[in-house]
Copies of this chain bind each other. A is one copy, B any other.
Amino acid sequence: MAQNVCVSRLDALRKAMEKNGIDVYMIPTADFHGSEYVADYFKVREYFSGFTGENATLVVTKDEADLWVDGRFFIQAEHELEGSGIIEQRMGEPGVPTLHEFLRKTMRDGETLGFDGRCVNEAQGREIARLLSGKHVKIRSDKDLAEEVWSDRPVLPSHPVFLLDAEKYAGETAASKLSRLRAVMDEKGAKFYVSSKLDEIMWLYNIRGNDVICSPVALSYTFVTPDEAFLFIQDSEVTDELREYAKGIGLVICHYVAFDEFLRTRVVYDGPVLYDPAFTGYQTCRTIREAMTAGGADASLLMIPVNSPVDYMKAVKNETEIRNFKEIYIEDSAAVTKFIYWLKKTVGREKMTEGSAAAHLDGLRAKIKDYVELSFPTISAYGENAAMMHYEPKGEGAEVKPEGMLLVDSGGQYMRGTTDVTRTMALGPVTDDMKKSYTLTAASMLQLMDTKFLAGSSGITLDIMAREPMWREGMDYKCGTGHGIGYLLNVHEGPQSIRYRKRDAADMTAFAPGMVVSDEPGVYKSGKYGIRIETILLCVHERTTEDGEFYGFEPLTYVPFDRDLIDPAYLSGELLALLNAYNAQVLEKIAPFLDGEEKAWLEEQCARI
């Protein structure tokens, strides 16, 4: 993009700011629903800054524009911002102000901060409002200035929704889910529940859409009362089948664009509203608060913030979902195992790139029954590229040679569930340091998988079981150890996760049997190599004693470790036994999917070390 384009776009934005009495305008990278991937319609920050990376926040003042960029994108932003006059703010670097510090320092008493309050969640918006309250800064959150400036803006994505069969796939009817939600509302003393989060809305009503890439969801909001439930969705997404089905479960279909109006004028707030500040738009909560206050009520008491009960219910998979997950993970693991065989036999014989390797794997996955789409673009990272955790090859990417390692992180969306798996493979000669790092990663993954824990333990309780082998060596990986996984929904879902410190309130969620979580430690050496081993685990009940209920994990993923990368010197006897036991299970479960040479190769791979 020619940089003068951005300069003139920012000029137009500043005119719109002036017209609307806005002194500083903030543009995050987000849709109205806090989705991980956003559609073109929502790429406002990219439109005004020219920066194409996945994450950044632009702040525009009368005479300055600043872009907050995280470590993954420092270099990219430097290139893309050239000539735009926009200042790159490298998050976490010494001397660089945080966005909040910048706003506090820059904004003057009585000025107005503007942002599209639908693209900022309640928790974020309130924090900013609180931060600036001492300066009497006004917040204007009802204006999307892009509407006034971006003339050729893409339209909102819109695709018809489909129903998910309760008996075969979802395992529970929407009516039953609604009744469980209402029981929680009642327990918390609330009358209403509101949510903007797409995957939980899909789960609640057993529907799926196609508005967000790699994630079968439809743009929507919901509002639940003791007797009714309202689904706000674009008219073009509503099928006759949905209309019929909605009637049957007391679900009222409303226009997507009428949500704010509904909250402002149609609800009598004669009871508290339950909401998750991380899953509900700032503007949504503001509208509700204003309607409550207009009605003479104390909004600060009538708004009850919680970790979403729907998100929690969704995370605890039921018997049908678990049965489907177990099936599809075996089939998906078999595809990945075949891919590894192909990779090892082919590398150095035929020309291979990161892109062609990914394409081969994607092809194997597409053949699986029930395949819908990938659950995220396959990460195929060779050599030093793998040190970047979120690497995606541009085009074909680097050439893959018969030396060093290839890291492949991939997954699929199937009617029987969503998969995610990472393995790192030796392609030829590897160094002792690589072997040490791989073996410690395997130790981390296995030690966590083998942990027994008391009911009430969260991922923060458990994380050190994965990191301990690394921390003892003064090593660490700069990301969480694990995330939840949806059922034909987001490949990353909460509320549970495994990390050693809290990022948000949901991280404290206790594990429960039926929860699914990734176990993915790694070693990332910048400029050298990257290793990650990711196995998906199912939380299961272990035993009940007089001291309580104890839980543990069992793997859903069955893809072998790479024995060329194991150095037993770094494994205790217990951990080596765990590794051999895991490989033995891989052989038992995956061999039936293989023939001849493939099968013989797997037998070698899984032989006792």
A residues whose Cβ falls under 8 Å from a Cβ of B: 104, 126, 129-134, 189-191, 271-272, 298-302, 304, 451-454, 456-458, 460-465, 467-468, 471-472, 474-476, 478, 500-502, 508, 510, 543, 545, 547-548, 550
Which residue of B has the minimal Cβ distance to A478? B547
Cβ-defined partner of A131 (8 Å) among B189, B468, B500, B550: B189
Give the CA-CA distance A145 to B467 in the complex, in Å: 54
Q: Determine the chain B residues whose CB is within 8 A of the CB of A457 once the complex forms.
A: 464, 500-501
Query: Is B454 within 8 A of A476, CB to CB?
Result: yes
Cβ-defined partner of A301 (8 Å) among B129, B298, B451, B501: B129
Q: Determine the chain B residues whose CB is within 8 A of the CB of A501 once the complex forms.
A: 456-458, 461, 508, 510
Give the CA-CA distance A104 to B189 in the complex, in Å: 8
For the complex, would chain A's binding face be called helix, strand, loop or mixed by DSSP majority? mixed
Give the CA-CA distance A307 to B369 in the complex, in Å: 52
| Residues A461 and B463 in contact in the complex (CB < 8 Å), given A189-B134, A302-B133, A501-B510 | yes
Q: Determine the chain B residues whose CB is within 8 A of the CB of A467 once the complex forms.
A: 454
| Residues A500 and B461 in contact in the complex (CB < 8 Å), given A130-B272, A133-B272 | yes
Give the shortest distance, in Å, between A99 (CB) and chain B (any CB).
13
Q: Determine the chain B residues whose CB is within 8 A of the CB of A543 once the complex forms.
A: 474
Q: Determine the chain B residues whose CB is within 8 A of the CB of A191 once the complex forms.
A: 134
* Closest 5 A/B residue pairs (Cβ): A474-B545, A133-B301, A476-B547, A134-B271, A300-B300
Query: Is B189 within 8 A of A550, CB to CB?
Result: no
Give the CA-CA distance A182 to B179 in the complex, in Å: 50
Query: Is B464 within 8 A of A461, CB to CB?
Result: yes
Cβ-defined partner of A502 (8 Å) among B130, B474, B475, B508: B508
Give the CA-CA distance A104 to B272 in the complex, in Å: 13
Which residue of B has the minimal Cβ distance to A526? B546
Known: A454-B471, A478-B547. 12 other contacts (CB 8 A): A130-B189, A130-B304, A133-B302, A134-B189, A300-B300, A453-B471, A456-B501, A457-B500, A458-B501, A474-B543, A474-B550, A501-B508
Query: Is B133 within 8 A of A189, CB to CB?
Result: yes
- In the complex, 11 of the A-B residue pairs with CB atoms within 8 angstroms, ordered by the A residue number, are A104-B189, A132-B189, A134-B190, A451-B464, A458-B460, A460-B460, A462-B464, A464-B464, A464-B465, A465-B468, A474-B545
Give the CA-CA distance A508 to B300 in the complex, in Å: 25
Query: Is B500 within 8 A of A456, CB to CB?
Result: yes
Give the shortest distance, in Å, between A499 (CB) and chain B (any CB).
9
| Residues A471 and B133 in contact in the complex (CB < 8 Å), given A300-B300, A454-B500 | no
Q: Determine the chain B residues whose CB is within 8 A of the CB of A299 once the complex forms.
A: 300
Q: Determine the chain B residues whose CB is within 8 A of the CB of A462 once the complex forms.
A: 464
Q: Determine the chain B residues whose CB is within 8 A of the CB of A460 once the complex forms.
A: 458, 460-461
Give the shortest distance, in Å, between A301 (CB) and chain B (any CB).
4
Most-contacted residue by chain B among A130, A271, A457, A463 (CB, 10 A): A130
Give the CA-CA distance A271 to B131 in the complex, in Å: 10
Q: Determine the chain B residues whose CB is within 8 A of the CB of A510 once the complex forms.
A: 501
Most-contacted residue by chain B among A189, A272, A302, A550 (CB, 10 A): A189
| Residues A547 and B134 in contact in the complex (CB < 8 Å), given A104-B189, A457-B464 | no
Query: Is B133 within 8 A of A550, CB to CB?
Result: no
Give the CA-CA distance A191 to B134 in the complex, in Å: 8
Which residue of B has the minimal Cβ distance to A450? B472
Q: Determine the chain B residues whose CB is within 8 A of the CB of A454 once the complex forms.
A: 467, 471, 476, 500
Give the CA-CA distance A272 to B550 in the complex, in Å: 46
Query: Is B474 within 8 A of A133, CB to CB?
Result: no
Q: Determine the chain B residues whose CB is within 8 A of the CB of A453 once the complex forms.
A: 464, 471, 500
Q: Determine the chain B residues whose CB is within 8 A of the CB of A475 once the complex forms.
A: 545, 547
Give the shortest distance, in Å, between A191 (CB) and chain B (any CB).
6
Q: Determine the chain B residues whose CB is within 8 A of the CB of A133 once the complex forms.
A: 189, 272, 298, 301-302
Q: Determine the chain B residues whose CB is within 8 A of the CB of A550 once the complex forms.
A: 471, 474
Give the shortest distance, in Å, between A415 (CB) and chain B (any CB).
36
Which residue of B has the minimal Cβ distance to A551? B471
Most-contacted residue by chain B among A132, A460, A465 (CB, 10 A): A460
Q: Determine the chain B residues whose CB is within 8 A of the CB of A126 once the complex forms.
A: 301
Which residue of B has the minimal Cβ distance to A458? B501
Q: Determine the chain B residues whose CB is within 8 A of the CB of A272 once the complex forms.
A: 130, 133-134
Give the CA-CA distance A133 to B478 in the complex, in Å: 43
Which residue of B has the minimal Cβ distance to A502? B508
Most-contacted residue by chain B among A131, A190, A451, A476 (CB, 10 A): A476
Give the CA-CA distance A456 to B476 in the complex, in Å: 12
